[in-house]
Structure 1
Amino acid sequence: MQDTDPIPAASRNRQIADWLRLEQAAGVGCRTARLLLNQFGSPQAIFNAGNAALAAHVSPAQARALCAPPPRETAALIEATLAWLAQPNHHVLTLHDAAYPPLLANIDDPPLLLYLKGRIELLRQPALGIIGSRNASEQGKTSARSFAHALANAGLTIVSGLALGIDAAAHEGALAGPGSTIAVVGTGLDRIYPARNEALARRIAVEGCIVSEYALGTPPIASNFPRRNRVISALSAGVLVVEAAAQSGSLITANLAAEQGREVFALPGSIHSSLSKGCHKLIRDGAQLVETADEILAALHMSPLVAAPAVAQSECLPEDTPLLAALGHGPVEFDALLARIGSTAAALNSELLMFELDGQIERLPGGQFQRIFR
C-alpha cells in the first residue's frame, strides 16, 4: 500500500473506491466533481447527500447518477485498481491527500486522482520539464540528453512525457547520473505507450516515477495527450523546449506552462530546420533563449549542486577537420558541402560516412547533413 499514508488499508481502500466512483459517475466531469467536493467535502458525503441536495448543484441526471450504486463496469474498475494498488511501489493519490503535489493542486483543473508507479517523493522535489519533437534530429536528442543530465545533476528532477524523440532522450539523460525523472503518460499505468519505450518505462518505474491521471485500462487516445501536457508543466518550475515544428504539440505545453506562471525556455536552431521553427516562435513570443544548463539554473535561482561530467569525445576521429568546419551549425546540402571543401564526390561520401558512423554527423532528409555538437 502507500507507504506515506498512515490510514489503515481497509479505510484507504474505501476512500479510493469512493473517489473512483465519483470520477466515473455518468455525466459528472472533473470540474463538476470538484465543485461538489468544495460544497460537500468528500466523495462519501456527496453520495450521502441525497437527490434533493445534489439537485441544487447539478442536473437531475447527474444527481441520479451520483445517488445510484456504481454500475458493473465501475465496480470492476474499483476491484482492479485496488488489486493494482496492492503491488509494491504502486500508489493512488486523491486531490485531498497531503502527498498530492501542491504545484499541480493549484492549477485550474487538477486531476481528481493521480496513479503513480515508482518513487512518489519525486513529486515534491524541484523539477524542470523537457519536451520536444517525436521526430527529433540526432542533434536534438543529444542536446536533450546533455541538458537533462546537467540539470538533474544540479538537483532538478526532469519531467517529460515518455514519447519517442526528445522526451525519451530527456529521461535517459536524467537517469545517466545521480538525478532522476518523472514520466507523465496519457494512458492507464497498466499499459506502456509507445511500446518502443517499454525498457525505458520499466527503468523509470524503478529509478524514477511514472504518473497518470487516467484510470487503469485507458488506451492511448489522442485527445488525452494534450491534457496530460498540463500535468507536465504543472509539476515543473519551468519547461525547456528543445526541438519543435511550427505546429508541434510541444507549443501547447509551453503555452500551458506560461499560463500556469512557469518559466519557458527554448533552444535556438538553424533557420533552415523545420524543427527549429517552433522554438523560434516561442522565443519571439517571450520564451527565454538558452544555450547552457547554467542559464536555466540562473533563471530559476538555483546553483549547480554537482558539476555535470564532461561528455566523452570521440577517440576515433578528430573534431577539427575541414569537413566539420565546412558543415558549420546548420544543415548543408551535399553539393554545397562539396563546393565548400573542394573535394571529389566519392571522397566526400566516404568521409561523410566515417563521421556519420562515429556519431559526429547526422544525415537528414532531402540529402542534407548536419554536424552534431557534443
Structure 2
Amino acid sequence: MKLSVLLALSMLPLQSREMLALAYQGPDFNDLQSKYPNLNLRSRVDRFRLFLAHSDTKVVFLGMDGYPSLPGGEDNPPFRLCYQGFLPNEGENLVSVCGTRYPDTLGTEASYAFSLEAGLNMTHVVTSHSRGIDKAALYGARESGLPAYVCCDCGLSTRRITENRLLAGCNLISPFEPDDTASRWRCLSRNYLTCAFSPALVVFQAPAKSGALACSSLALDIGREVFVHETGLRKVEVNEGTLRLANEGCPPIGGYPDVAKEMGFGQDRSLVPCKESNALYRYGNTCYSLKHETE
C-alpha cells in the first residue's frame, strides 16, 4: 500500500483497529478524501511526506514488520509511530521511569543513578522529555552510553524536540504528526507508550494529582509491574501519590538492583557512591564509581 494512503488512514477519526481493518480493504486516497472532506488529508499528507523526506525520521504502521510487539498487543495502540533512531526490540531489557516535573533533589539524584546503572547493565530506560524526574533519567541514560527510548508528547519537527539538546542521540518516538504541538491529551497518549513499551514502571515521586500518578494507574491497567522508589516514600507533599501507590501494594525498591532481581535482568556492574577524587560520574553533589561483579 502506498505511503500516502497509510498516512491518510492514520489521520482519520477512527480507532486504530478500525484503521487497520480499513487498510486491509485497500482503500484509494481519493475515496478517503471524499469521505472525509473536512480533514484536509492532501495538505496534511504532503506536509508529512515532506518532513520524512528531509529528516532522519522513519514511520511504521500497526500490522507491519518492525512495529513494537507490546503496544501492538494492547486494546488501542497507535496506528502510526514516527521515530528517530530505533524502536524497542522484543529481546531487549526495558524499564520505564516516570515522576513529577517538580521533584526534590533526592528525587532527581535517585532517577539519575537508577537510569545510569540500568544503562550500564544493558537495560534500556523508557521515559519522556519532561522536566524533573524524566529529565534526570535522560541524563543518567546518556552517561551510561545506552540510548534511552523517549516517548514524545508532540511531533518530531516541533521546537520542543529539535531545540532540546539532551535528546541528541536518543531514540525518539511519537505517534503524532510532525508539527503537532504538546497538549494535555497528547501527554496521556505519551504516557500510554511509556507504560506499554516495557514490562515494568518505576515511579520516583508523584504528588496526589500528577501525570506520573496517572501513568502508574495506566501501567497497572495494562498489566505492567509498578515499583515505587524509596525516595518517593518520605512523608513530604511531593510524595503523596507514591505513598498511596505503596499503600495499595506497589512494591518499594531501592534502586536498579532490586528491579533487576524482580524482572530477571542482568547486573554485571554496580554503581557505588564515592569521593569526588575517585568519581567516574557526578550528578549534583553526588559522585559515583563502578564495581564489577568479578571484582
**TM-score bracket for this pair, using the shorter chain length:** 0.7 to 0.9
What do residues 204-224 of structure 1 show as CA deviations (whole Å, max 9, x unaligned)? xxx221111011111111221
1:45 to 7, 26, 29: 26
Normalised by the length of structure 2, the TM-score is 0.85
Q: Structure 1 pair 121/222, CA: closer, same or farther in 2 (3 Å)?
A: closer
Aligned positions of 1:76-115 closer than 5 A: 76-87=43-54, 89-115=56-82
CA RMSD between the two structures: 2.8
Q: Which residue of 1 aligns with 2:137?
A: 170
Alignment pair present for 1:22 and 2:3: no
Normalised by the length of structure 1, the TM-score is 0.68
Rg larger in structure? 1
Alignment pair present for 1:198 and 2:181: no
Tell me, what secondary structure is at the counterpart of 2:40? helix
Tell me, what secondary structure is at the counterpart of 1:265? strand
Alignment pair present for 1:240 and 2:202: yes
2:239 to 276, 295, 305: 276
Instruction: Tell which deviates more after alignment, 84-93 or 134-143.
Output: 84-93
Aligned positions of 1:270-309 closer than 5 A: 271-304=234-267, 306-309=268-271
Count of equivalent residues: 283
Aligned positions of 1:178-197 closer than 5 A: 178-193=145-160
Unaligned runs of 5+ in 1: 1-10, 51-63, 316-357, 361-371
Unaligned runs of 5+ in 2: 278-282, 289-295
Give the Cα separation in 2 of the matches to 1:124 and 1:294.
20
Q: Which residue of 2 aligns with 1:141?
A: 108
The alpha carbon displacement at 1:308 in A equals 3.7
Say if 1:139 and 1:373, in contact at 8 Å, map to a contact too.
Answer: no
Tell me, what secondary structure is at the counterpart of 2:26? helix
Q: Structure 1 pair 89/283, CA: closer, same or farther in 2 (3 Å)?
A: same
Tell me, what secondary structure is at the counterpart of 2:95? strand
Tell me, what secondary structure is at the counterpart of 2:47? helix
Tell me, what secondary structure is at the counterpart of 1:310? strand
> Match for 2:166: what amino acid?
L
> Match for 2:26: what amino acid?
A
Q: Structure 1 pair 359/220, CA: closer, same or farther in 2 (3 Å)?
A: closer
Q: Structure 1 pair 71/272, CA: closer, same or farther in 2 (3 Å)?
A: closer
What stretches of structure 1 move > 4 A for 4+ residues in a row? 64-67, 69-72, 121-124
Say if 2:206 and 2:242, in contact at 8 Å, map to a contact too.
Answer: yes
Relative to its length, the structure with more strand (as a share) is: 2
What do residues 28-65 of structure 1 show as CA deviations (whole Å, max 9, x unaligned)? 32x1x523533x553x62449x9xxxxxxxxxxxxx86
Give the Cα separation in 2 of the matches to 1:252 and 1:236.
17
Give the Cα separation in 2 of the matches to 1:116 and 1:152.
20
The structure whose RCO (Cα within 8 Å, separation 6+) is larger is: 2
Instruction: Tell which deviates more after alignment, 267-276 or 167-176.
Output: 267-276
Give the Cα separation in 2 of the matches to 1:79 and 1:123.
33
Tell me, what secondary structure is at the counterpart of 2:77? coil
The alpha carbon displacement at 1:175 in A equals 1.3
Aligned identity (percent) is 20
